[in-house]
């Protein structure tokens, strides 16, 4: 019996000393034994920091984000009875009323009222376009230019001292970085904010809409999971510094949180052209090509794994007749390795490099032809 009591006492003493040691260890070395309270506090601080960045960006940029409303006069009918013996009433037009038939988003790029939006937002004929600022003020909008290549357009309103956005550098975008989209969601909820990340870069899609049979291929797009709903088109995609890095243009049908934005760097020259000439024009080389990678190199038995290989399209055309490329002497199976020392790669595509120049610019191409490197001078023409 005494032995049993002795064993019980030993167990109790072990538990007491063990518990005391654990408490002492936590007090002396809190970093080794983090408490629930410490973990929650750290998480809260990170969350608060991210929230502050988003809130500050939205406050700074929202005054420069506008709603673009499409309206037209529609007939109004009234019911009347031409005879007391009728079973059903007749209807006659008694006038017209203005009705909203669409909507999109834009953002102010100059204090005197220049606004950037999507081309498809302002492509409807026979309607009036009204710009609504974040403070509710309304202005009639004039369409200055529609882009022939990309889904962008420039509007103008008669106003002064407007808040403008700051354009960022879309070449510095990284997959996974946080982004913010602001727009006129569903053509109903003005300046709706959604937050996400950059999901991918350099995407190519074929874009269209339910009201038109027309489609167009858009290249070098930013993919994001920030919600881009109908009506968000033309709105800004922002980094956490409040800089515009893209213009929201499309969402993937049948998918959740897959949206696309045009990189702002590919638009900067267009904005400059509108300011100077009142229209949007793009430089044009005039070749059909495919970007070389390890797979293309192996399939075509090439000696290089980068560059743009000049090939025929479905119509059998490799070099466009009368183009800058033809005048420079480019041929089928030529490989354009560099433009002014810039190497052509999957990330730095031929189209992307050409768009960094202007109509009339002279460039030098480094070309691989039949295993030999040659240099060709080209004067870029305007894309028709």
Task: List active site positions.
Answer: 120, 151, 233
**Rounded-to-integer distance, Cα 89 and Cα 100, Å:** 28
* CB 311, CB 369: distance < 8 Å: no
Q: State both tokens at 304.
A: 């290089």
Which burial class, exposed, middle or buried, applies to 194 when counting CB atoms under 10 A from its CB (0-12, 13-18, 19+)?
A: buried
Tokens, residue 59: 């406050």
Please tell me what DSSP assigns to residue 149: S
As given in the structure block, the two tokens for residue 123 are 């492509």
Q: Which residues contact 202 (CB under 8 A, 6 or more apart)?
A: 220, 221, 346, 347, 349
Of 177, 192, 166, which is closest to residue 107 (Cα–Cα)?
Answer: 166
Q: Which residue has the tokens 């009222």?
A: 113
Establish how many alpha carbons lie within 13 A of residue 318's alpha carbon, considering only the half-sphere containing its beta carbon: 13
Output the DSSP codes for 159-223.
--S----EE--GGG--TT-EEEEEEEETTTEEEEEEEEEEEEEEEEEEEEETTEEEEEEEEEEEE
336: left (phi over 0), alpha (psi -120 to 50) or beta: beta
Closest listed residue to residue 234, CA positions, set 58, 111, 72, 103: 103
Q: How far apart are CA 184 and CA 197, in angstroms?
A: 20
Residues in CB range of 255: below 8 A, 6 or more apart: none
Which tokens sit at 274?
């509108």
**What would you measure as the largest C-alpha separation in the chain, in angstroms?**
117
Q: Up-side HSE of residue 194: CA atoms within 13 Å toward CB?
A: 23
């Amino acid at each position: 019996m005494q032995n049993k009591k002795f064993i019980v006492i030993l167990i109790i003493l072990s538990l007491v000393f063990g518990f005391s040691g654990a408490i002492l260890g936590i007090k002396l070395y809190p970093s080794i034994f983090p408490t629930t309270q410490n973990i929650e506090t750290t998480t809260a601080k990170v969350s608060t920091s991210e929230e502050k960045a988003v809130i500050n960006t939205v406050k700074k940029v929202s005054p420069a984000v506008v709603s673009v409303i499409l309206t037209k006069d529609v007939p109004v009918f009234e019911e009347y009875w031409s005879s007391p013996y009728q079973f059903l009433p007749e209807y006659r037009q008694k006038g017209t009323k203005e009705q909203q038939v669409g909507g999109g988003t834009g953002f102010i790029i100059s204090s005197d009222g220049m606004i950037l939006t999507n081309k498809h937002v302002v492509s409807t004929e026979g309607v009036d376009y009204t710009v609504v600022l974040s403070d509710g003020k309304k202005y009639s909008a004039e369409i200055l230019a529609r882009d022939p290549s990309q889904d962008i357009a420039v509007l103008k309103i008669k106003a002064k001292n407007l808040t403008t956005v700051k354009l960022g550098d879309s070449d510095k975008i990284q997959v996974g970085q946080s982004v913010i989209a602001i727009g006129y969601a569903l053509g109903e909820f003005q300046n709706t904010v959604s937050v996400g990340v950059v999901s991918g870069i350099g995407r190519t899609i074929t874009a269209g809409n339910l009201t038109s049979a027309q489609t167009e291929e858009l290249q070098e797009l930013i993919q994001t999971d920030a919600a881009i709903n109908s009506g968000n088109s033309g709105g800004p995609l922002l980094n956490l510094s409040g800089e515009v890095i893209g213009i929201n243009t499309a969402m993937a049908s049948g998918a959740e949180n897959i949206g696309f934005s045009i990189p702002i760097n590919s638009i900067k020259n267009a904005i400059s052209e509108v300011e100077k000439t009142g229209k949007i024009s793009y430089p044009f080389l005039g070749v059909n090509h495919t970007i070389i990678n390890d797979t293309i190199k192996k399939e075509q038995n090439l000696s290089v794994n980068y560059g743009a290989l000049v090939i025929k399209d479905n119509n059998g055309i490799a070099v466009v007749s009368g183009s800058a490329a033809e005048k420079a002497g480019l041929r089928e199976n030529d490989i354009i390795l560099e433009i002014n020392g810039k190497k052509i790669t999957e990330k730095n595509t031929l189209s992307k490099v050409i768009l960094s120049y202007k109509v009339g610019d002279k460039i030098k191409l480094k070309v691989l032809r039949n295993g030999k490197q040659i240099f060709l001078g080209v004067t870029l023409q305007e894309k028709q």
